[in-house]
Amino acid sequence: MTTRSETRTALDHLLTEIEHRNPAQPEFHQAAHEVLETLAPVIAARPEYAEPGLIERLVEPERQVIFRVPWQDDQGRVHVNRGFRVEFNSALGPYKGGLRFHPSVNLGVIKFLGFEQIFKNALTGLGIGGGKGGSDFDPHGRSDAEVMRFCQSFMTELYRHIGEHTDVPAGDIGVGGREIGYLFGQYRRITNRWEAGVLTGKGQGWGGSLIRPEATGYGNVLFAAAMLRERGEDLEGQTAVVSGSGNVAIYTIEKLAALGANAVTCSDSSGYVVDEKGIDLDLLKQIKEVERGRVDAYAERRGASARFVPGGRVWDVPADIALPSATQNELDENDAATLIRNGVKAVSEGANMPATPEAVHLLQKAGVAFGPGKAANAGGVAVSALEMAQNHARTSWSAARVEEELTHIMNDIHTTCHETAERYDAPGDYVTGANIAGFERVADAMLAQGVI
């Protein structure tokens, strides 16, 4: 039987090979390290996982598609962006994962997101594989007509790689209801099919699910609440800091308020807002969802209780709970140290990999409950899968039913991660629990299906 030490050495060699085979992809390297460094106990206990090159296959995408996206702006100038779709693993079901439109998008970012998606989707128990896509296109400041032309050009290539039984994209940063609508319209135009299940995050009048916009933020708060319950506490009366001001952050703030907590911050790339009275959700939604403005406008219109801090670190604001909900690596070791000094009890990741490895280690060492994104923010993809189920049956569920299903799924994910961590002698370590639980589900399916 292979020892943990021997398994650890083999995994270290594989990580070195991953870096060599995938140069200049630091985000993907980071995601692979974060998962693989927790797998030694399960591989030592179940050596069949090591024998058929299973992990080597797991870290190599099944398919990577890169394509040109030409489009014209309102002045008739031609722009060329790059499109991506990485279909990482389909052992559990069709590839499922969002599309991100942001200048920072490159192959390494998409691969990191797709790799995370494998385990996140496995944790939901809903039979969906892992994938991700997007473009370095920046929708900010573009007219609706420009965004439409870009989305139509993007889908003109993407359509041949997706389908309700193959790959089902959704939204992510820069891709909301407007973009999904344009993408779906072009897919329908090209294919001559009303294939509602090909995209999720659709409008509620044409195949979308209630609670889908809220799901990631709601789910993250539900996971944070479950971590606190495990420690004999709840969210009632707790102060929370939330980063970001997009879809995830807005509905994180909304669910916190519903459960009795007070979110006092939001942020964007220009800086952050602190509101001593708690974030006014209606005002934030008006500025960000309707006007597509910046958070400094919130402070200007809110009054004396709010102040805008240009630049700076939202994590400097004292709080009981922290919910990073913006982007990857936004919370570093120094931020973690500040949160710990200020008495933070729990950190739950609404974004994908927003805490650096050093920050995670410091928080765990200090005894802070830490919910990794692949578990804590799985609510979005869970409701996307529920949207697929509704599309397949050509029906629509009530908001109450969807939210009940979401609550059940998030509590199940928490229980699975908690019990798995205990089973592998890492009590309270949700990172280890999430990684191993997700890995076991995917690995068992891969073994059953042969070397493909």
State the catalytic residues: 132
Q: Is 108 annotated as a binding residue?
A: no
Q: Confirm if 43 and 27 have CB atoms less than 8 A apart.
A: no
Angle at CA of residue 204, ends 203 and 209, nearest 5° = 105
Q: Is 327 annotated as a binding residue?
A: no
| Longest alpha-carbon distance in the chain | 67
Angle at CA of residue 285, ends 324 and 114, nearest 5° = 40
Q: Is 96 annotated as a binding residue?
A: yes
Q: Is 117 annotated as a binding residue?
A: yes
Number of Cα atoms under 13 Å in the Cβ half of residue 309: 15
Tell me the DSSP string of 341-393.
Answer: HTT--EEE-SSSS-B-HHHHHHHHHTT-EEE-HHHHTTHHHHHHHHHHHHHHH
**Distance between CA atoms of residues 323 and 244, nearest Å:** 10
Number of H-type helices and E-type strands within the chain = 17, 13
Dihedral sign computed on CA atoms, order 319, 335, 271, 120: negative
Tokens of 390: 């509704």
**What is the DSSP pairing of strand 63-72 with strand 78-89?**
antiparallel
Tell me which residue has tokens 């050495």. Answer: 9
CB neighbours of residue 292 within 10 Å: 10
Q: Is 305 annotated as a binding residue?
A: no
Instruction: Extract the annotated binding site.
Output: 96, 117, 120, 171, 216, 247, 384
Instruction: Extract the annotated binding site for substrate.
Output: 96, 117, 120, 171, 384
Instruction: Extract the annotated binding site for NAD(+).
Output: 216, 247
